[in-house]
Structures are given as structure tokens and as C-alpha cells.
Amino acid sequence: MTDPRSQSTYQVRLAWGQQGLERLAPAGIVVIVDVLGSSDELAAAAAALENGPTVFQGTLRNATATAKAIYDEQQARGGRTAISLVLAGDDGAFAVEDYLAAGAIGDALSALGLDHSAPDVAVATEGFRPLTRALKHLLSASAAGLALAEEGRRDVVRAAAELDAEDHPTRVVTAEED
């Protein structure tokens, strides 16, 4: 039997950190979701996966642009494509800001018709929708937001909370594409 945590029966999947990336069934598209940290290492690991997925880095700032890029990639492939949302978290642990961003991306994917989602994605999406107006507060009150504020970097948190402030996705370029 296939490990149910692989979410292989769903088109849109969600997991946390490196272990989650490894646990999810292979996907044609991987989105590394990280709002207030640096996920370059996790993005590089995703780009190095054996199946060679297209990899994006998603945030609240580019949620809709990322969803549109995913949709366009699926159209270019000519068929239904599996999508993994991998949340960077705080050292692989729960990070409210990444969960909200995954919900924002899930919401935008759903609006585009890509909604055969694992329960994990559905919960993130439905959690995001009613909290959209509270993003600035939630990010500033999160553990990462409080830590950045303590370092005098409240501006980083405020900017990260701006939903769809960017109209372009961030695609991870692999060594072969350079």
C-alpha cells in the first residue's frame, strides 16, 4: 500500500520541510512556501529531485502570480500535473505565516479550477480565506514576526504581509537551465 502521507491521490498536496518534500509523491511542480525566512536550500533540494520538477518559491506577496504560473505550466504540459506545496516553516516546524501563504496559493489555484486538493491544502485554504484581512497582524504576532521586530526589522514583516504585491512568480532555475 502507498503511504497515505504521500497524498498521491490528490493533485495539490501539502507538507512541511525537507521530510515533507521527500514524503510527498513525485510532482511535476513543487512550490517552496516561505514568507519570512530563507528557503534556498529547500528549493535547491526540490530542484534536484530525480523527477526534475518545475520549482517555484511562493509567498503571500506572489500567491496569485505563483498560482497563475502553475496553471500555465500545467497547460504547457498538456495534462493534469501534480503540485506539491512544501512549507519551509521554522526549521521544518509549523510557521503560521507559511501556512497562510499556502492557503493563499491554494485559494488562487482553486479560483483557476485546480482544486483536487489534499485535506491539508483544503484546511490551509479555508483557514486563509476568513483571515485575509488580518494578515498584517498575524504575521507581526507570529514567532518569526516577533523575532524580526525584536531585531528592528518590522518593515520586513509588513512587506511580507502584502498579499499579491508582486505580479510575477519566483521560479527556481536549475543548473541545467543556466
Q: Is residue 178 within 8 Å of 65, Cβ to Cβ? A: no
Sort strands 12-16 and 83-87 into parallel, antiparallel or unpaired: parallel
Render pLDDT for 66-86 as a digit per residue (tens, 0 to 9): 999 999 999 999 989 999 999
Looking at the DSSP bridge assignments, the partners of residue 93 are 90
pLDDT exceeds cutoff 80 at 123:
yes
Is a pLDDT exceeding 70 seen at residue 168?
yes
Task: Tell me which H or E stretch contains 13.
Answer: strand 12-16
- Mean pLDDT score, 112-123: 95
Whether 92 shows a pLDDT value over 70: the answer reads: no
Instruction: Give the start-to-end residue ranges of the domains of the chain.
Output: 9-166
Question: What's the CATH number of domain 9-166, 1.20.1090.10, 3.90.1560.10, 3.40.50.170, 3.90.180.10?
Answer: 3.90.1560.10
Which whole number is the average pLDDT over 25-31? Answer: 96
- Is residue 44 within 8 A of residue 34, CB to CB? The reply is no
Quick one: residue 31, left, alpha or beta (phi over 0 = left, psi -120 to 50 = alpha)?
beta
Taking the CA of residue 175 as centre, how many other CA atoms within 13 Å lie in the half-sphere pointing to its CB?
5
Cell numbers that stand for 142 in this block:
507570529
Q: Give the position of cell 513525485.
A: 26
Given a contact cutoff of 8 angstroms between Cβ atoms, the answer to whether 105 and 33 are in contact is: yes
Give yes or no for a contact between 101 and 124, defined as CB atoms under 8 angstroms apart: no
State the maximum Cα–Cα separation within the chain, in Å, rounded to a whole number: 50
- The pLDDT of 100-111, averaged and rounded, is 98
pLDDT at site 4:
79
Strands (E), 53-166: 54-58, 83-87
Q: Distances from the Cα of 158 to the Cαs of 23, 28, 137, 161, 170, in angstroms? A: 33, 33, 9, 5, 20
CA atoms within 13 A on the CB side of 80: 9
